[in-house]
Chains A and B, each alone.
Chain A
Amino acid sequence: MVAPAIVDERPTRERQLVRFLAFGIAVLIGVSGLTARLVYLQFVRGQVYQARAEQNRTVTEALPSTRGLIYDRKGRLLVANEPSYTIKIRPADLPFSKRDEVVARLSGLLGIDQADINMTIDANPGSRFDLVRVAQDVPIATANLIAEERLALPGVEVAVESKRHYTDGPLTSQIIGYTGAIDADTLKALKDQGYQPDDLIGQAGVESSYESTLRGVYGQETIERDAAGRKLQVLSTDREAQPGDSLVLTIDTKEQRLAEKAVTWAMNRANLKRGVMIVMNPQTGEILAMVSLPTYDNNKFAEGISRKDFQKLLRNPEKPLLNHAINEQFPPGSTYKLVTGLGVLADKKLGPTELVQTKAYIQIGADKFWDWNRAGFGRLNIRSGFAHSSDTFFYQMAQRLGIERLAYWAHQLGFGAKSGIDLPGEVPGIVPTNQWKQDTFGQPIFPGEVLQAGIGQGYDTVTPLQILNAYAALANGGRLYQPQVVREVVDADGTVVRPFAPKLIRKVKTSAENFKIMRLGAREVVTSRHTFNLVDVPVVIAGKTGTAEFGVRDSKGLLPFHNWFVAFVPKHKNVARPDSELAVIGFAYDSNTVGNVATEMVKYYLQMHFHVKGDYRLTYLLNKGNFYGGN
């Protein structure tokens, strides 16, 4: 059988081999071109693109450290870290066209003014790609609501952050301070130290002065992110965060509470605008209590204070954000007679028992410089002159010293310079000298001004802490310490990193004997009943009152005045010995009372401190009036 021949009857026209070959070549050329490009991208430039893909997806992010805690000297926790919800905005993710809508919605949810939110966003210290904190300590329900509405709220993020909770709020706010959002200038200065645009930083108190101690060291992690910048996962922790160290304050919360109670009582009773009390251990410079009223609640700051509330604090004429114990200076009045008295003894311009004739006034040219007691006290030695606070006595002492020596002894006792206390914003006060007067007013000191400088009037200004510290030096026999509010620094494990050590500024350059004379004088202030019934309190107290005029004379030609009382308690009831472990100062701003409010304030504190039975306060002294000729 022969195989049948196949006759192909198809037209050959439509099948042209050359065209098929041409098409095939086109395929090969096309694919070869693509292959060549793939080789170039994946091999020749592969490394570059791998690096860029890595760059795309990874970003290093700061790992916040745990901020150190703060305890009082008895170990009571004053600041705790609590988790809280924070609302942040990344401006770059918030389209401009939607901003009003988003801000309005947030405003409704958070109860914050739209204007405030807008201002916060605009004040963002970082770039548009950095988060801005718009609300702190948001209730969980609100945080959930915002998280659920994330599609309608582009650029808005909910974060859990650690929030400071201040156990006692206003009671210790002047010492502890608060943390707040870092501003652009600070960020610029501290960026190298790892500060982030949405960081919180200590703004007042030890939160500020011990910022670097409390903060710890931020860690760093590499995170994988997507194109929208959202965190996908943590790839690696490059550096663990080191928790900040904790502070143990010198403050005793119990004493702080007593001091606050005493000041509050006096302020309410005498209708005072401002009051200060500081309690110190003269042997070490440790501050046991420091009260400055009116004050503020630092928890308000921790929760994210509203602009309105903050403005209210700023506008308050009594300046509640200032610690009046150190941030403001006032005329010291008669408390300054310690400087004049000690100086004149030290310079041997007055003998220890030398009697000086006091008068109704001292006349210089046409001006009469009156004693507060317009009858004079007759002949007084240094102790009784101090006890009666005789102005004409100390006018003469100032004349004997001259302005430069007076200033020298003022400086020796710590006036005219910052005490160096570990709190921010301390002011130095003014100790007038010829040079100072020349620099400030272009004139030399006039003789009358020397008299005023000798009794703590005129140009003399001081902080309450400076007076207390000078009297602490008196109480301890001549050692001027740098006051401290932080006793120890301990690390996260509780190990003491920096133990307490008193910091001696100087030994005042005069004999212990002179200090003893002045201490006896201070005791005589009490025993002479210059301070009324303070001597009846069953505690041996020595101290000095002060009434410092300031401001503008009223219709009767009288000046408003502040009241001071600074006291110390010898350990063994003997003021001759420099063993006091308790010094207190009370300051009543613009008091204008019948008696010395500050004395009553300190008396009340000491009564409570020593658990004295009975109440020795003389409330009638707190009635309004003007007893000047003063003390």
Chain B
Amino acid sequence: MGVLKAEPARAQDWAAKSVGAAWRAFDWQMAIFAILLAGFGQAMAYSNTIAAGDGVFDAGSTFARGLIWTAFALIAFVISAAFDYKWLRTFAWPLYFANLGLLGLTLVIGDGVSGAARWIALGPFQFQFSELAKILMIIVLANYIASRQKSLDSIWTILGACALMVPAWLLVLLQPDLGTSLVLAAILAGMLFMSGASVRWLTILAVGIIAAVPIAWTYILRDYQKGRLLSFLYPESDPQGSGYQLLQSQIAVGSGGLFGKGLTNGTQNVGDFLPVQTTDFVFALLCEELGFLGAMLVLGLFIALIWRVLLTAWRSQDPFGLAIAAGIASMLLFQLVVNVGMVIGVMPITGIPLPFITHGGASLISIAVGLGILQSINIRQIRAEW
């Protein structure tokens, strides 16, 4: 009779373990939920391509680009799953500075709509590094939190995490990309909370930030910004102007009904009534074409995926893995609620993509990397073996 000691795995364990054992630990459910969500995204890309009158497999069509990005995302997923996530701790600081460098570069040479600097052109593709920044910041913050296990009760742990976040946050805000900066804030909060940081201090800080909102509202935001933020409350007041997007979005959602109009049959989609239909507002067209049932399926898949991510956090044998999983879960939840909320008119319009569904290579690849790391966490937990 002996005692089998469960301890954190080491790098060489990977080689020692049979491939079969690794696959058993692989979270198939998480992968399947993710693939189904990506499938919904690709279905909407197909519909958009048809609506735009392009050939489905034409180079440059939304659908074809989606397929290419999906392939890249799968590769990124496999690589990051094969990679021992614990090594990431070694790279945390280089990753941090690489992240700041890429965001800085985006500001300098990036392109975007109306003067913004959002993405960098890579040949025929555009890559939005702020999407990758979310994952990189999750790794960096997880490393930081894991290293502060002894002082989680201290306010300084929280402030330190904030200090780490601020440079990246400012660089994103300068693009300007309000949406991503909000996501980064949500990730930070979620990771600190789930990792066990002081609830008392987190609450105090949250109250402080909420208290600061009226001050920012009065003294920092300009009238047009306020108007844009508030227009979601009264879309009918200016149906051809600021409310147009939202109104058309709600018309798309509302006209979908239970079963939807059928893929490629959405009149709001085909008629091009909804601007940015392929990006931030794609969920509206999903509701229009696939109806309430389709929307529920997507929301259900998101719940299931977040559940699997939380399970990974729970199972993780080290605080680093837990923090990473918590960050990804926070990111998914926040983006889901804010994007869908925006589409259906209960959240202000901020440029936040819906993971998997919104078309965009950076978003998809970032998520794939994140899920790959989660699988790496799953695979590398020591199980009882005898």
Stretch at the interface among A9-17, A467-475, A479-487: A9-17
Q: Mark A238-280, 1 if CB is under 8 A from B, else 0.
A: 0000000000000000000000000000000000000000000
Does the CB pair B271–A232 fall under 8 Å?
yes
Among A6, A20, A30, A57, contact of B194 (Cβ-Cβ < 8 Å): A20
Q: Is the CB of B255 within 8 A of A50?
A: yes
Let me know if B287 is at the binding interface, CB within 8 A: yes
Chain A contact residues, CB within 8 Å of chain B: 1-2, 4-11, 13-16, 19-20, 22-24, 26-28, 30-31, 33-35, 37-39, 41-43, 45-46, 48-50, 52-54, 56-57, 224-228, 232
Told that A13-B196, A31-B303, A34-B340 touch, could you supply 6 new A-B pairs with CB distance under 8 A? A10-B318, A19-B193, A42-B295, A46-B254, A53-B255, A227-B273
Stretch from B3-11, B68-76, B168-176 forming part of the interface with A: B3-11
Pick the contact of A228: B251, B255, B272, B337 (CB < 8 A): B272
CB neighbors of A among B321-363 (8 A): 322, 326, 329, 333, 336-337, 340-341, 344-346
Contact with A along B171-190 (1 / 0, CB 8 A): 00000000000000000001
A4: chain B residues at CB < 8 Å are: 1-4, 384, 386
Whether the pair A13, B273 counts as a contact (CB closer than 8 A) is no
B344 CB, min distance to chain A CBs, angstroms: 5
Complex contact A20–B314 (CB within 8 A): yes
**B41 on interface, CB distance cutoff 8 Å:** no
Is A6 a contact partner of B4 (Cβ separation < 8 A)? yes
Q: List 30 A-B contacts (CB under 8 A).
A: A4-B386, A5-B3, A10-B317, A14-B149, A20-B314, A23-B333, A27-B306, A31-B299, A31-B303, A31-B337, A33-B337, A34-B336, A37-B344, A37-B346, A38-B253, A38-B296, A41-B253, A41-B254, A41-B345, A42-B257, A42-B258, A43-B257, A50-B257, A53-B267, A53-B268, A54-B267, A56-B271, A57-B271, A226-B270, A227-B272
Given A6-B384, A8-B6: A34 and B271 interface contact (C-beta under 8 Å): no
A428 to chain B, nearest CB (A): 54
| Residues 287-323 of B at the A interface (beta carbon under 8 Å) | 287-288, 291-292, 295-296, 299, 302-303, 306-307, 310, 313-314, 317-319, 322
**Once the chains are docked, how many angstroms separate the CA of A4 from the CA of B4?**
6
A39 CB contacts on chain B under 8 angstroms: 292
- Which of A46, A53, A227 gathers the greatest number of chain B CB atoms within 10 Å? A53
Complexed CA–CA distance, A426 and B310 (Å): 92
What is the CA–CA distance of A39 and B317 in the complex, to the nearest angstrom? 41
Are A57 and B273 within 8 A (Cβ)? Answer: yes
Least Cβ–Cβ distance between A128 and chain B, in angstroms: 13
- The number of chain B residues with a CB under 8 A from chain A is 61
Residues of A within 8 A of B253 (CB): 38, 41-42, 49
CB distance from B265 to the nearest CB of A (A): 11
Nearest residue in B to A30 (C-beta to C-beta)? B337
**Least Cβ distance of A55 to chain B in Å?**
9
> Contacting A27 at CB < 8 Å: which of B7, B252, B333?
B333
**Are A42 and B273 also in contact (CB < 8 A) when A4-B2, A27-B306, A52-B255 are?**
no
Check B306–A45 contact: CB distance below 8 A. Answer: no
Contact of B102 with A by CB under 8 A: no
| A43 and B258 contact, CB distance less than 8 A | yes
Also in contact, A23 and B341, with CB within 8 A (given A2-B1, A41-B253, A226-B271): no
Q: Output the residue of A14, A34, A42, A45 with the most chain B CB within 10 A.
A: A14
Residue B152, interface by CB 8 Å: yes
Interface string of B250-282 (1 = CB under 8 A from A): 111111111000000001101111000000000
B252 CB contacts on chain A under 8 angstroms: 53
Q: CB distance B152 to A13 under 8 Å?
A: yes
A49's partner among B251, B258, B306, B317 (CB-CB below 8 A) is B251
* B130 at interface by CB-CB < 8 Å: no
Q: A4-B4, A46-B257 in contact; A41/B250 too (CB < 8 A)?
A: yes
Report the nearest A residue to B266, measured CB to CB: A53
Q: In angstroms, how far is the closest chain A Cβ from the Cβ of B303?
A: 6
Residue of B nearest to A14 (CB): B319
Query: Could you say which residues of chain A place their CB within 8 Å of the CB of B292?
Result: 38-39, 42-43
Chain B residue contacts of A10, Cβ below 8 A = 6, 8, 317-318
Bound complex: CA of A52 vs CA of B249, how far in Å?
12
Given contacts A23-B190, A42-B253, A227-B273, A31 and B302 within 8 Å (CB-CB) = yes
B106 sits at the interface (CB 8 A) = no
Closest A residue to B346 using CB positions: A37
| Closest-CB distance, B282 to chain A (whole angstroms) | 15
> Interface residues of B: mostly helix, strand, loop or mixed?
helix
| Residue numbers in A under 8 Å from B42 (CB-CB) | none
Set of chain A residues within 8 Å of B345, measured between Cβ atoms:
37, 41
The 8 closest A-B pairs by CB, nearest first: A49-B254, A53-B255, A226-B271, A30-B337, A14-B319, A4-B4, A41-B254, A57-B267
Q: Which of B142-156 contact A (CB under 8 A)?
A: 149, 152
**A49→B271 contact, CB < 8 A:** no
| B48 contacts chain A at the CB level, 8 A cutoff | no
Q: Which residues of A contact B128 (CB under 8 A)?
A: none
For A31, give the chain B residue with the smallest CB separation.
Answer: B299
* B256 pairs with A42, CB closer than 8 A: yes
Could you tell me the distance in whole angstroms from the C-beta of B274 to the nearest C-beta in chain A?
Answer: 8
B231 CB within 8 Å of chain A: no
Which chain B positions have C-beta within 8 A of A227? 271-273
Chain B, Cβ-Cβ closest to A44: B254
Q: Are A15 and B299 in contact (CB under 8 A)?
A: no
Find chain B residues with CB under 8 A from A6 CB.
Answer: 4, 6, 384
Q: Give the residues in chain A near B375, CB-CB below 8 Å.
A: none
Task: Output the least CB separation between B334 and chain A (Å).
Answer: 9
The CA of A2 and the CA of B386, in the complex, are separated in Å by: 12
B195 within 8 A of A: yes
A28, A34, A50: which has the most chain B beta carbons within 10 Å? A34
Give chain A nearest CB distance to B53 CB in angstroms. Answer: 10
Among A5, A33, A52, A226, point to the contact of B346 (Cβ < 8 A). Answer: A33
Complex Cα spacing A342 to B326, Å: 116
A13 → B minimal CB distance (Å): 6
Give every chain B residue within 8 A of A11 (Cβ-Cβ). 149, 319
Q: Is the CB–CB distance between B254 and A23 below 8 Å? A: no
Within 8 Å CB of A24, what residues of B?
A: 307, 310
How far apart are A388's CB and chain B's nearest CB, in angstroms? 82
Q: How far is the CB of A229 from chain B (nearest CB, A)?
A: 10
Query: Which of B255, B306, B310 has the most chain A CB atoms inside 10 A of its CB?
Result: B255
Q: Nearest Cβ in chain A — how far from B300, in angstroms? A: 8
In the complex the two chains form, what is the Cα distance from A11 to B318 in whole Å? 8
Cβ-neighbour of A56 out of B5, B251, B344 (below 8 A) = B251
**Minimum C-beta distance from B218 to chain A (A):** 28
Assess the B257–A56 pair: CB atoms within 8 A.
Answer: no
Q: Which one of B248, B307, B337 has the highest number of Cβ atoms from chain A below 10 Å of its Cβ?
A: B337
Across the two chains, which residue of chain B brings its CB closest to A51?
Answer: B255
- The residues of B that contact A19 with a CB separation of less than 8 Å are 193-194, 196
A227 to B384, CA, bound (A): 62
Q: Given A4-B3, A13-B149, A42-B291, are A49 and B299 neighbors across the interface (CB < 8 Å)?
A: no
Asked whether A7 lies within 8 Å of B6 as measured between CB atoms, the reply is: yes
Could you say which residues of chain B place their CB within 8 Å of the CB of A224?
A: 267, 271
A1–B1 alpha-carbon span in the complex (Å): 7
Which residues in B have their C-beta under 8 angstroms from that of A7? 3, 5-6
Distance to closest chain A CB from B124 (angstroms)? 22
Q: How far is the CA of A10 from the CA of B314 in the complex (A)?
A: 12
Which residues of B sit under 8 angstroms from A26, Cβ to Cβ?
333
The minimal Cβ–Cβ distance linking B290 to chain A, given in whole angstroms, is 11
User: When each residue 112-137 of chain B gets 1 if its CB lies under 8 Å from chain A and 0 otherwise, what string results?
Assistant: 00000000000000000000000000
Instruction: Give the docked Cα–Cα distance between A30 and B329 (Å).
Output: 13
Taking a contact as CB atoms under 8 Å apart, the answer to whether B196 and A14 are in contact is yes
* CA A306 to CA B73, docked complex, whole Å: 63
- Chain B residues near A5: list those with CB within 8 A: 3-4
> In the docked arrangement, what's the CA distance between A92 and B152, Å?
62
Contact between B1 and A41 (Cβ–Cβ < 8 Å)?
no
